[in-house]
Structure 1
């Protein structure tokens, strides 16, 4: 069987050689062509029809961001960005992920064999996932504009919120009974509701319905397991509420609130930056809860992610800091290289960052965040799992359900870039609502305000 065809793009002939040599170490892949700038890359994609592209950020004539946008528009295929670790590079990498790049790797920092081998293993892992992932979902187009006005119905509901009322603890027996009665629901993708100008062609290399010819078996390829069928659909009234995408105010919340009754925790990985943009930028300025986010990402990149999300969101978005006070109306992104946990003192809730060993191969880990919420039953907790490889977050969600969590949400297969983390939680039976990406924010708002 023919190997998958990869286009390597970099303005350095030396780096093109290094990347090409790393890729062909796996017989599943062959280098179909190379290109020295973005213009050549766009032309090569059209001519050679590769299954995947590695794309440098900084190039002459046309940079990686410009090339990526043209590729996504004309020949959408999985693109893995090659990024340095400078502030400019990390900022541009986050932008590329939101513009449709599948994922990114750090460029080799030197010719030292250990560094190159590590980069090679990382690149091959992402390429294997990229070519095996069916990309039937539309890509969300990220526009360089401010947010729209708040939906009148949601805004009127939010305006009624003045001071959070004192929360009365539910008896443990009631919480346990609620957890046992959970039933999974799913909202189908409502294609006719989506504005066409917000869509771009689906990210796949073959026509819809065409099955990719599998490459030779490899022990390092992760198994792709089909998702179980949902047990039932949402009731009509819930469907109507969740199907209305939420728009937001272009102004930031005036002052974060120290007192809150609800808390939202979100976990995601591959495809997460674009998914987070859709969800976080759709939460209204008066949102009465803090949002804690774990995105699998290396150090330095999470700061750029927080800064970019902050520029699009009505809420304040920050990279979390040790000992930082947790406030309603603020989104806290776990910094790369640190686990993030919720802790409490006499004055309220705080952020705790630790360098404990990796969990599920990650630091930060979604399971660590979710598990840290278990003791705080006085809070109405809401857990969300979105696109990503692996199963990080599923065990933590189970423990939260057992502790009486208020609601659980997972992104549906239709819109996931990689349907791994959500699938693990859904198939284990810990998820209340299985929703396409564009409906997750409105479901979160509904759950917090009901």
Structure 2
């Protein structure tokens, strides 16, 4: 019989500790072995109970979840799922936590004390379970980017128009562990790159704008949350908004973005499959498709459609740098990957292809 995954639940609300514990204990694969009231309490409970995985509230008194996470990832690295509010401050702090080393996060449906937390019960069980299997070493590593072409000013770029030339499109799909992987890849791409970048990161509404803003500050490229009607420009990164699918369409001979409320795919909206499939419908483009860390198989069906075209070059992130080797594993297993590359080298391969 498999040993139960041992979980520590940390939240300053006694109600939230009880409800989250009950949800986790209802899963036959896991058991809550202790709870904590704040960051300092969490550190003590880790030393006392040695859990396999922890849920950690972001906003707590005495020691915040972010401060506790920083201590834990330095002193006793382990898989951690953050529990966050949907506020702008909550989103920004949660994304900091992803960079520090949290595996994933869950948003409370209605504030710090969510009486309706049961709405996300399945998400809690799934994310805590898969977090327990995460590659903690990949979480700890700071993948040092190689130097890219220096550019102090983000120059104005021409919108992509016309049918006469082949346009290269970079399309990236990722999930669990994605924010940190995106930071590594996007920050290494040079401002001179002759392609726009489309990104689907599995993330709820309210968080993708903060992700785009953080990446924009760290990148030579212009990074923004995508919106319907955006006309693609080289050197720009368009991140699918949480809760909406991102598709590419041709309007007035220009390539532009369309966001939709179509049904989720495999529980995801935005979906990597949806983005890839929309690209497969467009002529006169070359696609560099990149699938990085994440649980599940999103991207495989869409990449099969893209691979029916002769002009799709695909990159899967290597297992050793993935936080969760699910999405890239499916790409490799289905023999859809032209390259299997460590995350810190992905931008190099993209840049070389775009020069070709």
Give the 3 Å change call, closer, same or farther, for CA 112–443 of structure 1 in structure 2: closer
Task: State the shift of 1:297 in Å.
Answer: 0.9
Scaled by the length of structure 1, the TM-score of the pair is: 0.74
Counterpart in the other structure of 2:20: 19
Q: Is the CA contact (8 Å cut-off) linking 1:251 and 1:285 kept in structure 2?
A: no
The correspondence for 2:155, drawn from 231, 234, 254, is: 254
Q: Is the CA contact (8 Å cut-off) linking 2:191 and 2:221 kept in structure 1?
A: yes
Q: Is the CA contact (8 Å cut-off) linking 1:377 and 1:404 kept in structure 2?
A: no
Give the 3 Å change call, closer, same or farther, for CA 42–334 of structure 1 in structure 2: same
SS of corresponding position for 2:319 = coil
Further displaced range: 61-70 or 32-41:
32-41
Task: State the shift of 1:328 in Å.
Answer: 0.6
Counterpart in the other structure of 1:91: 92
Task: State the shift of 1:108 in Å.
Answer: 4.5
Give the 3 Å change call, closer, same or farther, for CA 311–338 of structure 1 in structure 2: same
- 1:266-324 deviation per Cα after TM superposition (whole angstroms, max 9, x unaligned): 00111111111110111112222100000111111111111111111111110001111
Q: Distance in 2 between matches of 1:138 and 1:91?
A: 19
Task: State the shift of 1:44 in Å.
Answer: 2.2
The alignment status of 1:266 with 2:140, answered yes or no, reads no
The correspondence for 1:418, drawn from 324, 329, 339, is: 324
Q: Is the CA contact (8 Å cut-off) linking 1:252 and 1:313 kept in structure 2?
A: no
Counterpart in the other structure of 1:342: 248
Q: Is the CA contact (8 Å cut-off) linking 1:343 and 1:350 kept in structure 2?
A: yes
Counterpart in the other structure of 1:358: 264
Counterpart in the other structure of 2:46: 45
SS of corresponding position for 2:320 = coil
Scaled by the length of structure 2, the TM-score of the pair is: 0.92
Give the 3 Å change call, closer, same or farther, for CA 441–14 of structure 1 in structure 2: same
* Superposed counterparts of 1:148-159, under 5 Å: none
* Greater RCO, CA 8 A, separation 6+: 1
**RMSD (Å) for aligned C-alpha atoms:** 2.0
Counterpart in the other structure of 1:169: none
* Superposed counterparts of 1:371-410, under 5 Å: 371-410=277-316
Instruction: Extract unaligned runs of 5+ from structure 1.
Output: 142-193, 199-243
Counterpart in the other structure of 2:164: none
Task: State the shift of 1:375 in Å.
Answer: 3.1
Counterpart in the other structure of 1:449: 355
Task: State the shift of 1:30 in Å.
Answer: 2.4
SS of corresponding position for 1:132 = coil
SS of corresponding position for 2:195 = coil
Q: Distance in 2 between matches of 1:250 and 1:418?
A: 33
Task: State the shift of 1:347 in Å.
Answer: 4.4
Further displaced range: 397-406 or 50-59:
397-406
- Greater C-alpha Rg: 1
Counterpart in the other structure of 2:345: 439
Instruction: Extract unaligned runs of 5+ from structure 2.
Output: 162-166
Counterpart in the other structure of 1:245: 146
Task: State the shift of 1:42 in Å.
Answer: 2.1
SS of corresponding position for 1:373 = helix
